[in-house]
A and B are shown apart, each in its own frame.
Chain A
Amino acid sequence: MTSTHTNSHTEAAKMEQVITEFFYKSLLIILESRSSYVSSRNYSGEQIVSSPSSSSSSSSSVRPRDKWFNLALRECPSALENLDLCPQSNFEPVVVDVILEQKPLDWGPASFSPTSDIVRNLSSKNKNSYFWNSDQDESGSEMKCEKIIERWFVHHESRKGRDFNSGNRRSSCNNLSALYKKLILMLRSLYVTVRLLPAYNIFRDLNSSGLIRSFKLVPRVSSFVEPLTRKEEVDMQRFWFTPVDTSCGRLCLSVLYYSSISDMSSESSTPMSPQFIPDYVGSPLADPLRRFPSLPVSHGSPSSLPFSRRHSWSYDHYKASPPLVSFSPSPTHSESNALVSNPSSRGLPPMSLPPHPPEAPLAHKRDTNFDEQNLPPSPPLKITRAGTSRTDNIRVPAETDATIEKIFSFGKEDCWKYSGVKAFSNSSPRISCSRSSSRSLQDDFDYSEFPCPFDVEDGEMMDPGSRPESYVRRGNPSDPNEAGLFMNRKSPDAAVGALVRMLEKAPPLRQNVSLNFSEASRPEILSNSVPKQSQISEAVTVEHAAAPNIASFRLVASKTTTDALEELRGYKVMKNLLLSEGGKAYTSSNVASAAEHSSTSKGT
C-alpha cells in the first residue's frame, strides 16, 4: 500500500513536473518568436549531429532545460522574467498577449503631431476591424497606441474525480511516456505554427531589417486579462491545438489572431502623412550646392550648377550661353538657410524615420538631379563657350545687325560703325555680354533677342585689370582698355557700343589726312546694309576728320582702300582665330596684334 502510494505520488509529481515544463516550453516558444532580438533565429548555437553516438557531446552543450521535450531553444530572458511572475504550482491559465505597440515619435514642434495622424490614418483605413488603444502619458503630449494582434492561451483543464491512484505502475509509466511523446508533438507543431502566423512577419522584419520602426511587438504574459471585445473576437481567427490528456485533466493550447496585419506593419513603417516637400533636392528652392556626389564636376564654377539646375525646366538651351557663373546669391543663400532650418520644422527626425521611404524619393530626386545635370541647358564653362560660339555665330549676323541698328539708330553718321562692328562681331565673338554671376534671369530674358555671342574665358580677359562691372557701370568710352573687348555683363548692346567707340578712338590711318564726311554722304552710306570697302576706310577716320576736302577725299579714299582691305583681312584673321575651336583661348594679344597690324598697314 505504502509503495503504491509512494509510486503514485511520484507519478503525480512527475506529471506535475511535465506539465510545468510544458507551460514553460510553450511560453518560451511563443515569446522567443515575438520578442525582439531574442530568438532562436539569431541563435548561433551548435547544430545537432546526426549520429547517435555523438549525442552525448551534443547533449553536453545543451542546457538541462533544453532537453525537455527534445527541443533546444535559446533562453529568452524576457520570457523567463515573465514566467517568474506566473504561478506554476496550480496550473493557472497563462495568457500571452502579443501587442503591436506604436511608438510615440518625437516630431519636434507640438503643432505637428504625426502620431495622431498615423492613428487617424490607420483607423480610417482599417475601418472594419482595428481600433487602437491610445494612452497618454503624464505630460499628455505623447500617445502610445496598442493593439492586441494575438492572444495565446495555455492552460490545464483539471478533470475532477479522476483518481491518481488508479491503475498500476506500468500503465502510469506508459501514460507518462505517451503523454510526453504527445507533448513533444504538440510543441513541435506549436513551434511551426508561431512562424506561420502573420505576427511572425512583423517580428522577423523588426529583427532582421535593422530599421528603426515606429512600432514594436510587446508580448505580455499574465494570468488574468480583459476579455476581448466582441468585434475583436469576431475579426480574429482561432486555432486550436488538439488537447493532450493528462492523468488529471488535459492540456489545452489555442491562439486568437488576426489573419492579416501586414497592412498595419507596412503603414507603421512609413509614419509620415503625405506632405508636400517644397525643397526637395533639385528644386529651385533647394540648396544649390547640394549635389549628388558621384556626379561629374562641371568645369565651371560650382555655382554654375545651380543655375543650370534652376533652369533645367525653363531655360531655353539656345539661350543658354550666359550662365557660366551662379546667379544672384541672395535667393540662394536664403534658400539654403531655409533648408537648414526646415528639417526640424518639417518633422524629419533623423533617427525615427525609416530610411527607405525617404531614400526612395531621394534617390529618385537624386536621379532627377542627375538627369537635370546631365542635360545641362547651360553646359559648363568651356562647353558652353564652344556651343555658344557655334550657335551664336550662326545667329550673330542677323541679331547683331539688329542690335547695332538699335545702338546706332541715334547716330546717322555711324554707318561705318555699323559695318565695322558687324565685321568685328563676325570675327570676334570674344566679347562676352553675360558672364556675370549677378546676372539675373530677368536680364537674360530681357536681352533674349540679343544673345551674347561673345564669351570670355576665365582668366583670359584682355585686360585683367579692367572689370566688367566697372565697364558696365561706367560705360565710359574714353578708356579704350575697357571698351569693347571685355565682358559686358549688362548687354550685348553695350559691348558692341564699346567696340564701336574703340574703333572710333582708334588712331587714324593718316594723321594729316582730314576727312570730312559730309552730312550728305553719310545717309548714302547708311543706306547700304552691306559694308563696302570704301565704307570701311571711312570707319576709321570719321571722328577725327577735319573739314573734308572732296578732292583730297577721293585721293585718300583710293589710297586707303588697300589699307582698309588689309584691315579687313586682319579682322578676318581674328574671326578665324575666334572660330577655331574648343577652348582655344582667344588671347588679348591676338586682338591687339591684329589691331596693330591693321593700324600699321594703314600707316604705311
Chain B
Amino acid sequence: MNCEVCQLKELEVEHFEIREVLRCILHTIVFHRALGLVRPKDVDLELFEITYVQCGDVELEKKIDEKIDHFISWVEKHPNKKSQICLSFYEVKSKQPSWFTNKTERLYWEQWYVNLNVTQHPKHHSSKSHHTKLIVDPGESATEERSCRRAMVEASLREVLFQIIKFVNEKKDHVPPISEGVIYFPYEITIPRKFQ
C-alpha cells in the first residue's frame, strides 16, 4: 500500500493564531478519516470567519490539543523558524512473531504536512503585559493593516481546507477498509526531525 503524502500550503501565522489554525486543519483532516459512526460537531473559529468540523470525540480533541501545546512550546523555543507538523495515519501490522520479537509495526498509509511560518511580531508577544502595553492604539493604518493581514490569513486557511477536501476526494483508494467499531484510523502527530 502506498503512503499518500499531502504537503499543505504554507501558512504565515502569528503566534496567537497557531492554536486556532492548527485545530482547524487537524480536526478537518481527522474528520475525513473518521469513517466510523460520528455525530459531527461544528466549531466556529474565533479569529476567522470559518466553521470547521470535529468528530465530536472528546478524547481525540484532548489529544490534538496536547499536540498543539507541544508544538507551540517548540515554536517558542525556536522563534523565527519555519515549522511543520505532521499528521500520519497508519495501520498496525504485527510482524511475524519470532522468539525474540513480537513487535508490531506501523504502516503509514497517509501523511499530512502542515507548514507554518510563525512570525514573531513584537506586538503580539506572548507576554501579557507586553501585549497590553503595545496594544495601545497605533493608529488607523495599523488597524487596517492588521485587518488586511487577518483577511489574508483567513483566505489562506480556507485554501488549505479546500486543498484537504480535494485531496480527500481525489485519493480514496489507499484508504484502508473500515473496521467494525472503529471510529477513526490510528494516527500520530509529530514534528519532523529536520525541524527539531
Specify which chain B residues have a CB less than 8 angstroms from the CB of A196 in the assembled complex: 50-51, 158, 161-162, 165
A182 within 8 A of B: yes
- Do B169 and A241 have beta carbons less than 8 Å apart? yes
Complex interface bits, B59-99 against A, C-beta within 8 A gives 1, otherwise 0: 11000000000000000000000000000000000000000
Stretch at the interface among A160-168, A183-191, A314-322, A487-495: A183-191
Say how far A398's CB is from chain B's closest CB, in angstroms: 48
**Residue ID in chain B nearest A33 by CB atoms:** B42
A177 within 8 A of B: yes
- Do A192 and B28 have beta carbons less than 8 Å apart? yes
- Do A195 and B42 have beta carbons less than 8 Å apart? yes
Specify which chain B residues have a CB less than 8 angstroms from the CB of A47 in the assembled complex: 39, 41, 56-58
- Do A184 and B35 have beta carbons less than 8 Å apart? yes
- Do A70 and B38 have beta carbons less than 8 Å apart? yes
- Do B38 and A71 have beta carbons less than 8 Å apart? yes
Pick the most buried of A48, A181, A185, A186: most chain B CB atoms within 10 A of its CB. A48
**Residue ID in chain B nearest A177 by CB atoms:** B177
**Residue ID in chain A nearest B162 by CB atoms:** A196
Contact of A189 (CB < 8 Å), options: B52, B55, B165: B165
Tally of A-B residue pairs with Cβ under 8 A? 108
Say how far B110's CB is from chain A's closest CB, in angstroms: 12
**Residue ID in chain A nearest B55 by CB atoms:** A48
B53 within 8 A of A: yes
- Do B172 and A72 have beta carbons less than 8 Å apart? no
The A interface is mostly helix, strand or loop, or mixed, namely helix
Complex interface bits, A285-319 against B, C-beta within 8 A gives 1, otherwise 0: 00000000000000000000000000000000000
In whole angstroms, how far apart are the Cα atoms of A177 and B173 in the complex?
12
Specify which chain A residues have a CB less than 8 angstroms from the CB of B44 in the assembled complex: 204
Q: Which residues between 151 and 174 of chain B lie within 8 Å of chain A, taking CB atoms?
A: 158, 161-162, 164-165, 168-170, 172
**Residue ID in chain B nearest A242 by CB atoms:** B169
B: contact size bracket: 35 or more
Specify which chain A residues have a CB less than 8 angstroms from the CB of B182 in the assembled complex: 52
- Do A45 and B165 have beta carbons less than 8 Å apart? no
Indicate whether A62 sits within 8 Å of B35 (C-beta atoms), given known contacts A185-B168, A188-B168, A196-B50: no
**Residue ID in chain A nearest B41 by CB atoms:** A47
- Do A195 and B53 have beta carbons less than 8 Å apart? yes
In whole angstroms, how far apart are the Cα atoms of A52 and B39 in the complex?
15
Complex interface bits, B109-122 against A, C-beta within 8 A gives 1, otherwise 0: 00000000000000
A59 within 8 A of B: yes
Specify which chain A residues have a CB less than 8 angstroms from the CB of B28 in the assembled complex: 192
In whole angstroms, how far apart are the Cα atoms of A52 and B52 in the complex?
25
Say how far B20's CB is from chain A's closest CB, in angstroms: 15
Complex interface bits, A166-180 against B, C-beta within 8 A gives 1, otherwise 0: 000000000001000
A126 within 8 A of B: no
Specify which chain B residues have a CB less than 8 angstroms from the CB of A193 in the assembled complex: 162, 165
Say how far A433's CB is from chain B's closest CB, in angstroms: 49
In whole angstroms, how far apart are the Cα atoms of A237 and B44 in the complex?
24
A200 within 8 A of B: yes
Complex interface bits, A380-398 against B, C-beta within 8 A gives 1, otherwise 0: 0000000000000000000
- Do B37 and A58 have beta carbons less than 8 Å apart? yes
B5 within 8 A of A: no
Say how far B180's CB is from chain A's closest CB, in angstroms: 8
A137 within 8 A of B: no
- Do B35 and A191 have beta carbons less than 8 Å apart? no
**Residue ID in chain A nearest B44 by CB atoms:** A204
A67 within 8 A of B: yes
In whole angstroms, how far apart are the Cα atoms of A241 and B162 in the complex?
11
A123 within 8 A of B: no
In whole angstroms, how far apart are the Cα atoms of A53 and B182 in the complex?
10
- Do A192 and B53 have beta carbons less than 8 Å apart? yes
A46 within 8 A of B: yes
Specify which chain B residues have a CB less than 8 angstroms from the CB of A204 in the assembled complex: 44, 51
**Residue ID in chain A nearest B59 by CB atoms:** A50
Pick the most buried of A43, A50, A191, A244: most chain B CB atoms within 10 A of its CB. A50
A437 within 8 A of B: no
Say how far A61's CB is from chain B's closest CB, in angstroms: 9
Complex interface bits, B26-58 against A, C-beta within 8 A gives 1, otherwise 0: 001001100111111110100001111101111
In whole angstroms, how far apart are the Cα atoms of A475 and B186 in the complex?
102
B6 within 8 A of A: no
Q: Which residues between 52 and 80 of chain A lie within 8 Å of chain B, taking CB atoms?
A: 52-53, 55, 58-59, 62, 66-67, 70-73
In whole angstroms, how far apart are the Cα atoms of A192 and B58 in the complex?
19
Complex interface bits, A27-43 against B, C-beta within 8 A gives 1, otherwise 0: 00000000000001101
In whole angstroms, how far apart are the Cα atoms of A70 and B37 in the complex?
4
- Do B177 and A200 have beta carbons less than 8 Å apart? no
Pick the most buried of B50, B60, B172: most chain A CB atoms within 10 A of its CB. B172
Contact of B52 (CB < 8 Å), options: A40, A182, A195: A195
- Do A71 and B59 have beta carbons less than 8 Å apart? no
B8 within 8 A of A: no
A201 within 8 A of B: yes
B139 within 8 A of A: no
**Residue ID in chain B nearest A174 by CB atoms:** B177
- Do B181 and A55 have beta carbons less than 8 Å apart? yes
- Do B39 and A72 have beta carbons less than 8 Å apart? yes
7 closest cross-chain pairs (CB), A and B: A52-B181, A242-B169, A72-B39, A70-B37, A50-B59, A47-B56, A195-B51
9 contacts between A and B (CB under 8 A): A47-B57, A53-B181, A62-B37, A71-B40, A185-B175, A196-B158, A196-B165, A242-B169, A244-B172
Interface residue ranges, A against B (CB under 8 Å): 40-41, 43, 45-50, 52-53, 55, 58-59, 62, 66-67, 70-73, 177, 181-182, 184-186, 188-189, 191-193, 195-196, 200-201, 204, 241-242, 244
